Chain A
Amino acid sequence: MAALIVDGRRVPDGWTWLREPVEDPTALPAGDRIVPLASWLAHGERLRALRGRTGVWLAVDEEPEALAGALGGLALVALHFPAAADGRPLSSAVLLRTRLGWTGELRALGDVRRDQLVYLHRCGFDSYLLPPDEDPRGALDTLSVLHAGPGRHYQPDVRSREAALATRSRQAV
């Protein structure tokens, strides 16, 4: 079963991930939903008026800049990894956090693997829907280390906007 981890804790997944475009928002099932980018851009007003929360997900070749000015009313933004080694969503995440001003939940969907979490976390993700064959215990172990402190890295992550080398110098002895 796919496990959802948010802020380092496993939580029940109450979201419906709609992979196909939404033609008629009023026909959606009750509850929280994650809709494709095009559906959000086309039906944002109607989706905002519905009960339940709305999130938007971007396919790997969709640009986060499309959400500029359209983030209001969203409960989460999700980015899809078609393969763990496809780094495009990492750039999208950084842009959402540092340029588009998204401060809400940022979820990784698709081929999300334990050994990738350190990169995802540092690019601003805080929510992960693991594929069914990924053991959530390993992922939780990895995340507990990441949440314990900033870790030792040369680059600033999106959470601390300090210069990379300044971070290094403080810790250099």
Chain B
Amino acid sequence: MYQYAAFDQQVVEDRVAQFRDQTARHLAGELDAEAFKHLRLRNGLYLQRLAPMLRVAIPYGTLSARQLRLLAHVARHYDKGYGHFSTRQNLQFNWPRLEEVPDILAELATVQMHAIQTSGNCIRNVTADQFSGAARDERVDARPWCELLRQWSTAHPEFDWLPRKFKIAVNGAEEDRVAARFHDIGLDARRDASGEVVFDVFVGGGLGRTPQIGSRVRAGLPWTDLITYLTAILRVYNRYGRRDNKYKARIKILLRALGAEGFARRVEDEWAQLAGGPETLSREDVDRIAERFLLPAFEALEDDPAPLRAALAEDPAFARWHRNAVRPHRMPGYASVVLPLKYTGVAPGDCTDEQMDAVADWAERWGHGEIRVAHEQNLILPHVRQDALPALWRAAREERLAEPTVGTVADLICCPGGDFCSLANAKSIPVAEAIQRRFADLDRLEDLGELHLNISGCMNACGHHHVGHVGILGVDKKGEEFYQISIGGDATADAALGTILGPSVARAEVPDVLEDLLELYRARRAPGERFIDCVRRIGVEPFREHLHGRTDR
């Protein structure tokens, strides 16, 4: 965990005071709704269909037990007893009162948290691998670089009034778990031949109405040049990005207009003026941030200790959970544990205050006090001793956080949809629930294996339907809600956008269609082949034909 310096703390407290003043002026009628809108958005506050929504930043998805307890307190005291973890590793409260928001922000500041730039046309919360510092396949720990970017992008004087929102993700592992190719800027950190950190820079990826895979504009950028290079990208975007149409204002549209090469050339021309300048990073700059990360004091342990082996042998339910929710750790004798926030009948990503308190307790007892938020809307204990896994499993079952459904079709990503969001064309949460009810059998889920199902209630794609192995998009047809099904999407380094299978279907039919798709997959898969790999191998056409046959039956 990064520990704020006094300076970091003051920046956050200054911001709370500034927003308190702005809110008071708005409530007194001195700041009109339009002017206030830009200010409140930059402090995480939306005013939408049913109530305000406050989005709290969880920088690169990392939380301490103390921070999670404070979030539980906010949920209890200012909200209706729960919060919603989003696909960008943030936490949303759906029912805060406008007058109380400055108080909530002041409470967050007491545990080194804030809501700065979680919305608005500015650089948003930087996301990272939820297993950073724990994953076996990690090349570079992304967190210090994310913190450096958090600081650089906070209230940036030149880049806080961009044409549109701007999202950055940093991957540091072999497997890309951050969807780097679907961000405005995706950074792939690796080490060069001499062991120095370098970044492959992808620009212009994104979903929404114009889904696009990011283009690599620079390979092997030395870490010393990270800030100057990002400044060049942001400056080109701030100057030349479209501002006349919000649906054409993201950097991906500028990149498409200039062509990837033309865009890269402009960036390089600008960077030529900045390279070696005052914002070039020194070793000291980076160390100063890295030193503020308190790293767990791992003990020298062996993998597969006796208590774990015994529990695996004795209890099939535990063994199933262990196969499903436990991930390898870079340290022997440790593991990372996924706690899915996907309990059937509850909106994906929702978490009660009691669950938050419980997870904070487990993190302190068994997990070095750390919690992560995954963009799949799950919580993670990154550093758990393997001999504590049976006790953690029993505790997590009590809180309904031990469903062995991680990475399965039941572990779906879903936007708030028409139940909460004023942009949505269709509801998404009831679709998620119907699918979870249909696929409730654990043997069947395990047999179907890894499958990412993503649901969005409209083409803005907050549920990332384009990159789901199966994607479901809510559409409005003459006032009725229909759902368009696609397959073959992939958010990892094998980036792909899904292909639409045919005409959209009514809500009640969605689970049937999904069942049909998975029936064909089971018939055609090679041994051990995942759904997405099967789709890649045999193509989309057999699935399309299979569904077509279905309507004829």
Contact = CB atoms under 8 A, between A and B. Distances in A.
B38 interface: yes
A91 B273 CA distance: 14
Contact of B160 (A119, A151, A164, A165): A119
Contacts of B238: 87-88, 90-91
Given A91-B238, A153-B155, A168-B151, A84 B5 contact: no
Given A86-B161, A123-B157, A91 B39 contact: no
A50 interface: no
Given A152-B10, A152-B11, A163 B278 contact: yes
Contacts of B284: 169
Contacts of B285: 163, 165-166
B35 interface: yes
B14 A90 contact: no
A86 B243 contact: yes
A173 B243 contact: no
B288 A155 contact: no
A115 B40 CA distance: 12
B161 A85 contact: yes
Interface in B205-252: 227, 235, 238-239, 243
Given A86-B243, A156-B279, A168 B38 contact: no
A105 to B, nearest CB: 19
B158 interface: yes
A13 interface: no
Given A152-B10, A152-B11, A165 B288 contact: yes
B239 A88 contact: yes
Contacts of B30: 135, 138
B171 to A, nearest CB: 23
B151 A165 contact: yes
Interface string B12-25: 00100000001000
Given A113-B35, A165-B288, A87 B151 contact: no
Max count, chain A CB within 10 A of own CB: residue among B8, B11, B157, B239: B157
Contact of B7 (A152, A155, A163): A152
A172 B6 contact: yes
B239 A91 contact: yes
Given A87-B238, A88-B239, A171-B7, A155 B156 contact: yes
A155 B153 CA distance: 8
A172 B160 contact: no
B95 interface: no
Interface string A83-119: 0111110111010000100000000000001011011
A122 interface: yes
Contacts of A153: 11, 155, 157
A7 interface: no
Contacts, number: 105
A157 interface: yes
A87 B162 contact: yes
Contact of B5 (A94, A135, A172): A172
Contact of B158 (A94, A116, A165): A94
B14 A152 contact: yes
Contacts of B35: 84, 113, 115
Nearest to B160: A119
A19 interface: no
B121 interface: yes
Max count, chain B CB within 10 A of own CB: residue among A115, A122, A157, A171: A115
Max count, chain A CB within 10 A of own CB: residue among B8, B121, B155: B155
Max count, chain B CB within 10 A of own CB: residue among A85, A86, A157, A172: A85
B258 to A, nearest CB: 16
Contacts of A135: 30
A18 B279 CA distance: 38
A138 B22 CA distance: 11
Interface string A67-80: 00000000000000
B152 interface: yes
A161 interface: yes
Contact of A91 (B6, B8, B235, B278): B235
Given A90-B157, A122-B157, A165-B288, A173 B151 contact: no
Contact of A168 (B7, B22, B157, B162): B7
Nearest to B235: A91
B154 interface: yes
Nearest to A157: B157
A155 B123 CA distance: 14
A154 B11 contact: yes
A115 B39 contact: yes
Nearest to A99: B273
B2 interface: no
A157 B235 CA distance: 15
Contacts of B152: 154-155, 164
Contacts of A92: 239
B6 A171 contact: yes
A66 to B, nearest CB: 13
Nearest to B6: A173
Given A163-B278, A168-B151, A87 B158 contact: yes
B278 A123 contact: no
Contacts of A152: 7, 10-11, 14
Interface string B28-39: 001100010011
Given A155-B157, A163-B285, A165-B289, 15 more contacts: A119-B160, A123-B157, A135-B30, A152-B11, A152-B14, A154-B151, A155-B279, A163-B280, A164-B279, A165-B148, A166-B285, A168-B5, A171-B5, A172-B7, A173-B7
Interface of A: 63, 84-88, 90-92, 94, 99, 113, 115-116, 118-119, 122-123, 135, 138, 151-157, 161-166, 168-169, 171-173
12 contacts: A87-B158, A90-B159, A115-B35, A118-B155, A119-B160, A153-B11, A157-B157, A164-B227, A164-B279, A166-B285, A171-B6, A172-B6
The 5 closest A-B CB pairs, nearest first, are A87-B161, A122-B157, A172-B5, A165-B285, A173-B6
